[in-house]
Chains A and B, each alone.
Chain A
């Protein structure tokens, strides 16, 4: 150290000044690297929790606290790592691993969000716009092949959960504990939370009509106004009963169909791109 020539106070001040500029530039530069994944539009493919604003607004409004993560009963929500750049600490859903099945009914993540990044105006699953399901490999679909399904949808090691309301209304259960035995595979339709809710509402209406002659009073959106998915028959002329899953207007992109699809990789997946770029977290 002592070999170095002594610096004059002026030189020392200059050095300190330049060093400080370098430090500021380094810190700012490092933070701006966070723009790379955003600019690459890589994040727009992320499935965000229900009620998430437009991707740009969502990244701005999210305070990266994870309160949505903590309230989700099926633990569908994860926080992104630094590889998401500006999206670090922002929640997303990996539907194939664990979809949002609306087990919580009241959209707990939306209620938990302290900044309105998950828009507080959504109250019911049918109002959500996370994305839309797409049948990406129809030829691989068991129903299209006219096949049934017997066994565990995703194998014995699958960690995902679903609400099997007929078994337990309040606690989501392991998919791996619930074997199916279906003549024709209809898992994507059978487990669709929107379809289940439509059926439940119809049942409730029926009950009310029978006992009181009344129609149940509901808030708008409480019962999904439109169907999300159905199986439509296809005829290939070979006498085999075949059906194909068709996505309808009521699909909100929750991802349960993607999670439950027993084919590997999933025949049906959520496309969130359009809704991330156009929707403001809820349906018009």
Chain B
């Protein structure tokens, strides 16, 4: 349970807790001491990384994830366009084969603003809660949210521009997202309007795909420009309350990315690709507090770190399913 508390604390914006070397479990201390004695292994990893850098290995899991994300969003579009009524509505609320689903953050906004919950909304909210608890919470972000995809493309551009010194990466306090979450909840409650929905790039993009584009896309464009030139992945990292909502859901999810200290040689490749590098604090040399660690709730399970890790120290696992995956 303390793991969950710590994971929630980091999710809300707290700095990952660090333990003094002398307080680490003995096996962890011993491992840290002996790990780098295997010079051959270290050299092999170095060569593999060089090779990876030169050859630009395809990120297979990323492609799969993009395919899933596009497929889910296209399903909405196709369902409406061909009137097959398979997945009606948009990401904020929908029906899958007639069964209600409601985005948790949108539903929360409506409940707070309207102060009245009809049974269909309750069914939809519960369904989505269970679904995303099973699938990992913020999995919604990286595997479904259409803004995440365009933000990933913007991020690629951002990194290229950074190399040339044409963009910078302003870091904000991660607690900003928690404050915004609270602020939007209070605003919905106090004003009676679903204030966040007005600027939600997730809702705007989902509706634009299904019902056609509009002026609202300008807002999404502005956020993307900000991310490209001033701050890497700023919306997802520092602002989006939807991500935090799903983060809460995923805090106890059985689906996690798993870190195995004995396999890690601390090259830091995983942290370079990670949307939320603070969840990978544990991979920094000397930081791991146990031999095996589950990555925290803020992780979107995008699995880029799994692809990036040259030594197989990061894997994904589904608790209770053992090695079936």
In the complex, what residues of A have CB within 8 A of residue B100's CB? 114
Determine if A67 is an interface residue (Cβ-Cβ < 8 Å). yes
Contact in complex: A116, B121 (CB < 8 Å): yes
- CA–CA, A38 to B195, complex, Å? 12
Known: A1-B165, A114-B124. A23 touches B234 (CB 8 A): yes
Residue-wise, chain A 100-133 has the 8 Å CB interface mask toward B (1 for contact) of: 0000000000001011110010000000000000
Determine if B110 is an interface residue (Cβ-Cβ < 8 Å). yes
Determine if B196 is an interface residue (Cβ-Cβ < 8 Å). yes
In the complex, what residues of B have CB within 8 A of residue A30's CB? 199, 219
Partner of A28, one of B113, B171, B183, B234: B183
Quick check: which of B17-25, B89-97, B136-144, B284-292 contacts chain A, the rest being far away?
A: B89-97
In the complex, what residues of B have CB within 8 A of residue A64's CB? 90, 92-93, 106, 194, 197, 203, 207
Known: A20-B238, A64-B92, A86-B194. A115 touches B210 (CB 8 A): no
Determine if B153 is an interface residue (Cβ-Cβ < 8 Å). no
Known: A16-B171, A82-B219. A31 touches B114 (CB 8 A): no
Partner of B93, one of A65, A78, A120: A65
Determine if B175 is an interface residue (Cβ-Cβ < 8 Å). yes
Determine if B172 is an interface residue (Cβ-Cβ < 8 Å). yes
In the complex, what residues of A have CB within 8 A of residue B211's CB? 66, 69, 78-79
In the complex, what residues of B have CB within 8 A of residue A81's CB? 214-216
Contact in complex: A63, B107 (CB < 8 Å): yes
Quick check: which of A53-61, A151-159, A205-213, A258-266 contacts chain B, the rest being far away?
A: A53-61
In the complex, what residues of A have CB within 8 A of residue B165's CB? 1
Contact in complex: A88, B197 (CB < 8 Å): yes
Query: Nearest chain-A residue to B206 (Cβ)?
Result: A65
In the complex, what residues of A have CB within 8 A of residue B88's CB? 67, 70-71, 112
In the complex, what residues of A have CB within 8 A of residue B198's CB? 31, 33-34, 82, 85-86, 88
Determine if B57 is an interface residue (Cβ-Cβ < 8 Å). no
Contact in complex: A65, B92 (CB < 8 Å): yes
Interface size class of B (residues with CB under 8 A): 35 or more
In the complex, what residues of B have CB within 8 A of residue A85's CB? 198
Known: A16-B171, A116-B118. A89 touches B215 (CB 8 A): no
Query: Nearest chain-B residue to A80 (Cβ)?
Result: B214
- CA–CA, A35 to B194, complex, Å? 11
- CA–CA, A201 to B38, complex, Å? 90
Known: A24-B179, A60-B110. A86 touches B193 (CB 8 A): yes
- CA–CA, A34 to B74, complex, Å? 29
Contact in complex: B94, A56 (CB < 8 Å): no
Interface size class of A (residues with CB under 8 A): 35 or more
In the complex, what residues of A have CB within 8 A of residue B215's CB? 81-83
Known: A86-B198, A115-B114. A63 touches B106 (CB 8 A): yes
Residue-wise, chain B 85-124 has the 8 Å CB interface mask toward A (1 for contact) of: 1001111111100001011001100100111101011001
Known: A61-B110, A79-B207, A116-B118. A34 touches B193 (CB 8 A): yes
In the complex, what residues of A have CB within 8 A of residue B191's CB? 35
In the complex, what residues of B have CB within 8 A of residue A34's CB? 193, 195, 198-199
Determine if A7 is an interface residue (Cβ-Cβ < 8 Å). no
- CA–CA, A27 to B180, complex, Å? 8
- CA–CA, A7 to B100, complex, Å? 53
Known: A20-B176, A57-B114, A81-B214. A70 touches B89 (CB 8 A): yes
Contact in complex: A89, B203 (CB < 8 Å): yes
Contact in complex: B110, A63 (CB < 8 Å): yes
- CA–CA, A38 to B113, complex, Å? 15
Determine if A136 is an interface residue (Cβ-Cβ < 8 Å). no
Contact in complex: A17, B204 (CB < 8 Å): no
Q: What distance in Å separates the Cβ of B55 from its nearest Cβ neighbour in chain A?
A: 31
Determine if A179 is an interface residue (Cβ-Cβ < 8 Å). no
In the complex, what residues of B have CB within 8 A of residue A35's CB? 191, 193
In the complex, what residues of A have CB within 8 A of residue B192's CB? 56-57, 59-60
Partner of B199, one of A31, A56, A115: A31
Residue-wise, chain A 66-100 has the 8 Å CB interface mask toward B (1 for contact) of: 11011100000011011101101100000000000
Known: A65-B89, A88-B197. A120 touches B238 (CB 8 A): no
In the complex, what residues of A have CB within 8 A of residue B184's CB? 31
Determine if A32 is an interface residue (Cβ-Cβ < 8 Å). yes
Contact in complex: A67, B94 (CB < 8 Å): yes
In the complex, what residues of A have CB within 8 A of residue B207's CB? 64, 66, 79, 89
In the complex, what residues of A have CB within 8 A of residue B120's CB? 114-116
Determine if A221 is an interface residue (Cβ-Cβ < 8 Å). no
Known: A61-B116, A70-B80. A114 touches B199 (CB 8 A): no
Residue-wise, chain B 185-224 has the 8 Å CB interface mask toward A (1 for contact) of: 0010001111111110001100100110011101100000
In the complex, what residues of B have CB within 8 A of residue A67's CB? 88-89, 93-95
Determine if A138 is an interface residue (Cβ-Cβ < 8 Å). no
Residue-wise, chain B 18-42 has the 8 Å CB interface mask toward A (1 for contact) of: 0000000000000000000000000
Determine if A148 is an interface residue (Cβ-Cβ < 8 Å). no
Determine if A19 is an interface residue (Cβ-Cβ < 8 Å). yes
A-B contact pairs, 6 of them (CB 8 A): A19-B173, A30-B219, A31-B184, A61-B110, A67-B89, A89-B197
Given A27-B239, A60-B114, 9 new contacts (CB under 8 A): A16-B172, A31-B187, A35-B191, A35-B193, A59-B194, A65-B92, A81-B216, A88-B204, A116-B118
6 closest Cβ pairs, A-B complex: A82-B216, A34-B198, A65-B93, A60-B113, A116-B118, A20-B173
